[in-house]
Amino acid sequence: MRLKSELPPELKYQAVVTEAAAREAGLDFFDVVFEVLDASDVNGVAAYGGFPVRYPSWRFGMEYERLEKGREWGLSKIYELVINNDPTYAYLVRSNSLLEQKLVMAHVYGHADFFRHNVWFAPTNRKMLDTMGEHAVRIRRYIDLLGQETVEEFLDIVLSLDTLVDPYLPLREHSHPAETRSVHTSASERARRALDALSLSTVPEEPPPEPSLGSRADLPTYDVLGFLSEFAPLDGWQRDILEIVRAEAYYFAPQRMTKIMNEGWASFWHSRLLTGGILDDSEILDFADCHSGATSCPPGQLNPYKIGLELYRYAEATGEDLFQLRRVHNDVSLTHKLVDESFAERVLRPILAPAGQGQEEEPDWRELKAATLRNISWGGLPQIELQAVDLEGEGELTLVHHHDGRDLKVGAAQATLLQIERIWKRPVRLRTTLDERDSWILVRDGAGSVVDIQGSDEAGGASDENLRNTA
């Protein structure tokens, strides 16, 4: 697949018209490049997270298989994809109707504006298209040198952990560069060294350095990947792969934090632009059909398109500065700021507590808001923090799950901790709450166990001992 294909004339015309309307409305974006692809190629790109090239991984193949199956069976369909990049790339599906293409284009300009101006995207790499390509080349070279199985095995371990990043870290570093933890040597420099070391030497690797932390470790931290990259006993190529996965994780992190805002913004603008002059009368019904499909919200599902759209419309009605909102907020802060009783009753109640479900007690609007916030906080993922390293003992890692009422899935958590142990090569433990009881999930020598520490003084005492915080 090649980028830079020529748009068919009618789409090209449409792109020009839509871009002009978007700029007129006050949207501002990097250049937007549209590509037209067949539906299955769009699925391929979607499986790659929106990029035409990624490193080889069966995981992408699995996602592709899922998307393709959905398409073949007519269960799901991807209308469009946008990449946060400069220029901003967007893909159109060849088989879509002209109306759908118009809608998608307007939608894309909304995303493009959001990517450029939302503050959480400020630290993201705007040349990610190229960077993804470089990452792919590096990992392919490791595969050539070390074999697919070896590289894949390590990659799978690291991918298991790719949500263990601190979504607030990039912006912190971005706005206060002085505080930045020195990123040792630059990533590319280290990549070069790792590759050199591989290709030049067949001499036995130096023994992996002991995890000596001294006082350098900056704990506690949510950036578990960063910590491991810096302190885990890894070979050069392993560290490089870990850095690649971490860089990509940080690139994607803001998208998790702003799903509602981003989709809401794009939906708000496609609706406004299309009904504000781009469509002619004969197209309005089809547009309404398509739009309502995208923003439909069955009970129990917080559709980000719907929630976001409603939030912006509500904000507009109450006289807020929309452009300011889209600049400074993320999903949590925007929801926190805008949702009041009237919004919660009108929008959230039908979704979260639909009438006629026989609930004994109708939740208060505050509970509805709290439930929504809980759902979107930390990108919808469990909040896991690396708290301490046992410096005097075995070098055991202690992580903490900040429990918000939802328990972890124990088996999955244990399996994930095992992955950390395989990198850290020392025991790992996680403190969490299971069935309302304070518990440890422990992993040691490739085996996991769960310990209930509430009410057991002995275990509790021991754990305090181990919770040596080096921060």
Tell me which residues in 379-418 interact with another protein (CB under 8 A). 379-382, 384, 401, 405-410, 412-413, 415-416, 418
Under rule CB under 8 A, residue 81 binds another protein: yes
What is the pattern of x (binds another protein, CB under 8 A) and - over residues 420-449?
--------------xxx-------------
Which residue, 148 or 188, has its beta carbon nearer to another protein?
A: 148
- Judged by CB under 8 A, the chain residues 339 through 358 that form the site for another protein are 351-353
* One-letter amino acid of 200: L
- Measured from the Cβ of residue 448, the count of other Cβ atoms closer than 10 Å reads 21
Which residue, 132 or 325, has its beta carbon nearer to another protein?
A: 132
CA distance 411 to 399: 16
- Judged by CB under 8 A, the chain residues 213 through 272 that form the site for another protein are 249, 252, 255-256, 259, 262-263, 266
Under rule CB under 8 A, residue 122 binds another protein: no
Retrieve residue 92's tokens. Answer: 């159109």
Which residue, 77 or 181, has its beta carbon nearer to another protein?
A: 77
Task: For tokens 């520490």, name the residue.
Answer: 453
Under rule CB under 8 A, residue 59 binds another protein: yes
Cis peptide before 304 (omega within 30 of 0): no
- Of positions 49, 123, 133, 220, contacts another protein by CB under 8 A: 49
CA distance 198 to 278: 57
Q: In whole angstroms, how close is the CB of 249 to another protein at the nearest point? A: 7
- Of positions 164, 232, 338, 423, contacts another protein by CB under 8 A: 164
For the chain, the maximum distance between any two Cα atoms, rounded to a whole number of angstroms, is 75
β-strand 428-434 against 397-401: which pairing, if any? parallel
CA distance 195 to 188: 10
Burial (CB count within 10 angstroms: exposed 0-12, middle 13-18, buried 19+), residue 94: middle
Burial (CB count within 10 angstroms: exposed 0-12, middle 13-18, buried 19+), residue 15: buried
Q: In whole angstroms, how close is the CB of 397 to another protein at the nearest point? A: 14
CA distance 213 to 391: 8
Output 176-183 pairs: Cβ under 8 A, ≥24 positions apart. 181/218, 181/226
* One-letter amino acid of 21: A
Q: Are 368 and 340 in contact (CB under 8 A)?
A: no
Q: In whole angstroms, how close is the CB of 163 to another protein at the nearest point? A: 6
- Judged by CB under 8 A, the chain residues 172 through 201 that form the site for another protein are none
- Of positions 29, 34, 48, 231, contacts another protein by CB under 8 A: 48
- Of positions 22, 27, 92, 103, contacts another protein by CB under 8 A: 103
Under rule CB under 8 A, residue 143 binds another protein: no
Which residue, 184 or 409, has its beta carbon nearer to another protein?
A: 409
Under rule CB under 8 A, residue 137 binds another protein: no
Under rule CB under 8 A, residue 298 binds another protein: yes
